[in-house]
Amino acid sequence: MNLKDISTSVPKKDHSGKVSGQLAYISDVKVENMVYGVLYRSPIAFGKILSIQLPNLPEGYEAVGAEDIPGPNYVKIIKEDQPIFANEWVNYIGEPILMLVGKDLDILYCLLDEIKGEFEEHQAIYTLDDAIQQISTPGVNMASYELGESLEVISAIEQKAYKIVEEEYDTGYQEHVYLEPQGMLAIFKEEEIEVQGSMQCLYYIKNALISALACGNDEVRVVQSPTGGGFGGKEEFPSMMACHVAVAARAVKKSVLLVFDRSEDMVVTTKRHPAKLKYRTALDMKGNILSLCVDIYLDGGANLGLSSVVLQRALINSAGVYKIPHFHAKGFCLKTNTVPNGAFRGFGAPQSFAGIESHIGHLSKLANIDPLEYKQRYLVQQGDPTITKGQFRDPILMKEMIQDLLNKTHYKQKIEEFRRFNQQNQRYKKGIGTSLFLHGCGFTGSGERDHIKATVKLVKSTDGKVSLKISNSDMGQGIYTTLCKIVAKELNIPYEEVLYPSPDTKEVPDSGPTVASRTTMIVGKLLERAAKKLKDQWQAGVEQEVVEHYVHREMIPWDEKTFTGDAYPAYSWGVNFVEVEVDTLTGNVRLEKVYGNYEVGKVIDNRIMKGQIDGGLAQGLAYGYLEKMTSKQGKIQQKSISDYGPPTSLDVVPIESKVFDNPYADGPYGAKGAGELTLIGGAPAVQAAIEDALQTSFQQIPITPEVIIESLYVKEGEEG
């Protein structure tokens, strides 16, 4: 198949394997001399390990712990604060202390129940509110950043303001609910340890293994297995699991497989950070914004992990899509003795957008102006500065995208229609809500240049087939297909003749992790450039190889200390409209219509983009009103999918979406990032719609039936 228009959909590369059920995931793999692993975990939230007493282990069953780690006992991420196996202190319920390995899983689980641990329990910090109270205690504030105008300037503005509005906003946990739970296999060989598994970041894992095993670069090999979903949950967490199986394999000289069941996965893996956002806004007599300050607190859980970077993204997105006259933001990532929180699609932006969209919506009510009209007064435009003193360089199509949805939904008539419906109906109330949002593409600041330094390779065989040699993971988002299309189009060869073997660190250079809406834009552009070179050098019947390295776009230099400069090379944009019906008797919310307009530069495959929109919106909407996860005394309460309540097909209505073309010069065929953008607008739009239906305000998500019923009682009390 030759490609005329890059956006035209083609069969996905992994389509037949997945649809036929023939594709082998990590839990399907069996190798010679393989044993299973199970983890003994901390039963307490915070304390000292006094002793661990093992039962008599049958022949062929062994225990592996901290004493078996050849290198330092921490998972190499950013900070050295996450033990591979806890051996002195435990910091959360579920922290791994040791691993039992053996041939029969049933026997292993029986042995696990017989382990007797003695602990000296200490006072734990269980909630974000507790951590905020103890913020000055050493070790509680794990990271903090500040940006924007000085507080002295803002204080002077506030003194002359007509009104100061203060609001607090809370967001909860969100669970990834990838279809395939976490799984890792270490294959033992005398000369190397090969780790296979469900992962997003091969070289994160490789670097963690080199550190843990205290070995050379060529003694460790990482291969991505087919991966059944990630959403960020398989970014940093697999590094710890990989260390567990690799250390165990080295210790027992056998291959070791560790696969979680759903309940273990839900209780011990990373989540989206719960957040508290505090807004302080100065207004003039007409309700115009004079200044806005926001403080963001993220619950990091027990270890820092990637939380400092998540906090940076939350701060960079704290003003939303708005040009606020005088803006200041400060952010803190705080330690609690709960399961560590980490990467999740949107990476801090969903919390910030839920908060700022809600706050701006509430300000519009105070000014007695339609929320969408009020929001548009502050929309950023091309050439405007960003809140980090960078610049929005490229054309911004938000006004056209909004107008398109105003026309499509008959927005003004719809508001009147819903008002009439609500007056005539005691029980059911209808509402419409909107959200405006953006997402930066690629790593924050100069991360691509200074830390990632991506490299890609193309290898042409003698029969003219071209293989992509890159370390990026397809986890269902479709890069096997989109990246092959980019290379096929550039070389003008059939799509079927471009191959993308499973990434293997023995074969591929480090092209960076599969995160941060960077793969299509950054890696795709490198592949496009490599394909151009290969085309110029093409020799029939000869094996050829082309390598391409990342080149940074000239921008305002990023300074991590002052948090200034261009945070991203480019931005993608979105608008969501959501219509709901709320049952005031039960508190249940029913989606009626969902609309999404997006601008992601140029779409590389229409069907894959539609999948990103529908999946992302389902996840974002559910974050706003369905998915509730709680921690009690340091323990996650929801241990099954039915306890947690992600959306089913009955909860999601057909999504009417449209993508606007706005090609970006530094993206392949004009493409920018799309993966995270589509989630961000769901929660704030559904919140706004529920508020519109009930004519009330909420200061948190998710807005569950319980929250709605409680708010109706409060409202009745106030009106009574």
pLDDT in tens, 615-662: 999 999 999 999 999 999 999 999 999 999 999 999 999 999 999 999
pLDDT for 466: 98
Exposure of 53 in the CB half-sphere (CA atoms within 13 A) = 5
pLDDT for 322: 98
pLDDT in tens, 58-105: 999 999 999 999 999 999 999 999 999 999 999 999 999 999 999 999
Taking residues 522-543, report their average pLDDT. 98
Amino acid sitting at position 86: A
Q: Is the pLDDT of residue 269 over 80?
A: yes
Q: What pLDDT band is residue 201 in, cutting at 50, 70 and 90? A: very high
pLDDT for 131: 98
3-state secondary structure 328-377: EEEEEEEECCCCCCCCCCCCCHHHHHHHHHHHHHHHHHHCCCCHHHHHHH
Q: What pLDDT band is residue 718 in, cutting at 50, 70 and 90? A: confident
Q: Choose among 245, 250, 193: nearest CA to 219.
A: 193
Give the integer Cα–Cα distance in Å for 273 and 233. Answer: 12
pLDDT for 720: 64
Cite the beta strand spans of 621-675 per DSSP E. 631-632, 635-636, 655-660
CB within 8 Å of 670: residues ≥ 6 apart: 601, 602, 661, 662, 663, 664
Taking residues 546-561, report their average pLDDT. 92
% of the chain beyond a pLDDT of 90: 97
pLDDT in tens, 14-55: 999 999 999 999 999 999 999 999 999 999 999 999 999 999
Does the bond joining 702 to the residue before it have cis omega, within 30 degrees of 0?
yes
Taking residues 152-159, report their average pLDDT. 98
pLDDT for 719: 74
Answer whether 223's CB lies under 8 Å from 195's CB. Answer: yes
Out of 3.30.43.10, 3.40.630.10, 3.30.365.10, 3.40.50.300, the CATH code matching 31-123+178-268 is 3.30.365.10
Domains 31-123+178-268 and 362-441+562-719 share a fold: yes
Q: Choose among 103, 221, 107, 160: nearest CA to 507.
A: 221
What rounded mean pLDDT belongs to the chain?
97
pLDDT in tens, 649-691: 999 999 999 999 999 999 999 999 999 999 999 999 999 999 9
pTM over 0.85: yes
Q: What is the DSSP letter of 322?
A: B
Q: What pLDDT band is residue 716 in, cutting at 50, 70 and 90? A: confident
Asked if CATH classification 3.30.365.10 holds for the domain at 15-23+447-549, the reply, yes or no, is: yes
pLDDT for 1: 72
pLDDT in tens, 352-361: 999 999 999 9
Give the integer Cα–Cα distance in Å for 551 and 531. Answer: 16
pLDDT for 434: 98
Q: Choose among 613, 622, 594: nearest CA to 676.
A: 613
Range in 41-45, 381-385, 542-546, 559-563 the model is least confident about: 559-563
Give the integer Cα–Cα distance in Å for 365 and 463. Answer: 66
pLDDT in tens, 429-486: 999 999 999 999 999 988 999 999 999 999 999 999 999 999 999 999 999 999 999 9
Q: Which fold has domain 362-441+562-719?
A: Aldehyde Oxidoreductase; domain 4 (3.30.365)
pLDDT for 448: 94
Q: Is the pLDDT of residue 560 over 90?
A: no
Structure tokens that stand for 470 in this block? 């890159």
pLDDT for 95: 98
Domains in the chain: boundaries: 15-23+447-549, 31-123+178-268, 362-441+562-719
